[in-house]
Structure 1
Amino acid sequence: MSLDGYIARENGDIDWLLENSPSNPEEYGFPDFYKSIDTVIMGKSTYDQLPELSDSFPYPDKKCYVFSKSTSGSNENVEFINEEISSFIKKVKLQSEGNIWLVGGGKLIESFIESDAIDEYIITIVPILIGKGIPLFNKNNVETLLKLKSHSRFGDCIMIHYEVKR
């Protein structure tokens, strides 16, 4: 996330993120984080952007779900979901042996917050102000109390890890 709270430019572009992140994933703890998850959840816009970022699907060894109102079924990489978040996440938590990563985007995160379906937030803040774009958090989200679990510095980036107080 940019320091001013955005996850992408207005057009969905994340060029600023790629240009300002450490070049080596081990520099910012990504390999350890990735090992801790076995399920990836994303919105359709995030899924549609993946081919622009990589020639191959980036999560081939994880169970992947894409929330979409217009696409259904599955392909070799993902299962498309169009159901109520609370019941879906209960099923996934029962099946999942590791953590669940909600990759994005902003609209899906908002829906998960409204459904009280997020247990932890791990957010990396990239030192750039992009001015406007797609915010990580909607201004109308419900109030949620958090407790700091950890924080780390990776180059000029800061990763903060909060758990939701219940």
Structure 2
Amino acid sequence: MKKERKIVLYIAQSLDGYIATKEDSLDWLFKVEGEGDNGYSEFYETIDTILIGKRTYDWIMEQEKGQFPYPNKDCYVFSRSQSDDTNEVKFVNEDIVNFTNDLKKEDGRNIWIVGGGDILHTFLMEKLIDELIVTVAPTIIGEGIPLFKAGNYQLDLTFAGTRTFNQFVELRYTVNK
């Protein structure tokens, strides 16, 4: 029996739990002194598929000036509206749960849920995430886009370890299913 792929949340947050300011800025994150790429390259080698919400995809493409930042990975963008696929991205306008469960059954490496907040909330509510890797920056931004939105859900986690990258602390958890 083949091993089912895992859905992994890999994300950074402020100490007070925000992934971006209300204006979608990550300037606070880039001000913190890390160590190398803070484990990103190592993580990136463990995945071959990326899931992302349309709003976050648009933000990333704007920040990257149209250059797709995830080459050689299958990338699916969840959107409520129809969009034409590109060479790098397939747009998905179907049931997230069914699509994700089918994707997990395919051969491959782990699947990275990039974000943003809305799509992450759906994945949490539907208990689709298998692992969480959350890197905490020593910054308090006071308000912004929370990593975890309020809702009627609960995930029980098992602590899997920590690592530090200069000022950053990486927390790892597996989701009890």
TM-score, scaled relative to structure 2: 0.87
Does the alignment pair 1:5 with 2:17? yes
Change (3 A) 1:61 1:24: same
Q: CA RMSD in A?
A: 1.4
Deviation at 1:72, TM superposition (A): 2.8
CA contact (8 A) 1:10 1:134 kept: yes
Residue 131 of structure 2 aligns to which amino acid in structure 1? Answer: E
SS at match of 2:87: coil
Where has structure 1 moved over 6 Å in runs of 4 or more? Answer: none
Aligned to 1:51: 61
Deviations 1:19-48 (Å, cap 9, x if unpaired)? 2252731xx211110000000111111101
Gaps of 5+ in 1: none
Give the helix-richer structure, 1 or 2: 1
Does the alignment pair 1:41 with 2:54? no
Residue 72 of structure 2 aligns to which amino acid in structure 1? Answer: D
Task: Identify the structure with bigger relative contact order (alpha carbons < 8 Å, sequence gap 6+).
Answer: 2
Looking at structure 2, the residues matched to 6 and 153 of structure 1 have their Cα atoms a distance apart, in angstroms, of 19
Q: Which of 93, 105, 110 is the aligned partner of 2:116?
A: 105
Residue 53 of structure 2 aligns to which amino acid in structure 1? Answer: G
Residue 15 of structure 2 aligns to which amino acid in structure 1? Answer: L
Identity of aligned residues (%): 41
Gaps of 5+ in 2: 1-12
Aligned to 1:61: 72
Name whichever of 39-48 and 90-99 sits farther off: 90-99
TM-score, scaled relative to structure 1: 0.93
